Amino acid sequence: MSATATPSVLDRMLDPVRDCLTPEVARRILALRADPVTQAKLDEYAEKNAGGTITPAELDEYDAMVQAGNMIAVLQAKARAVVGR
């Protein structure tokens, strides 16, 4: 994030988490990846969404997966700040 960018609410809310991370925990957060089954489902939903064939139930699950991925990405940014210290 650039110095001039306005931090997101999620980013600001998770700042205290960064302050609690040890380097070891930060490295474990950086290593987080979706398991193969979850990644395959995410890829399937992304394809269906792009093609306009996703069902409402699938879209709800896809949205939840994307939101979880966004939260993990913010946590990983916080973890990078700890490891880089």
Distance CA 45, CA 57 (A): 11
Cβ atoms of 14 and 78 closer than 8 Å = yes
Q: Considering the entire predicted model, what is its pTM?
A: 0.80
Instruction: Identify the sign of the CA torsion 19, 21, 27, 29.
Output: negative
Of how many residues is the chain composed?
A: 85
Query: What is the residue extent of each domain of the chain?
Result: 9-83
Amino acid, res. 58: E
* Model pLDDT for residues 21-54, shown as the tens digit of each residue: 999 999 999 999 999 999 999 999 999 999 999 9
Cβ atoms of 80 and 30 closer than 8 Å = yes
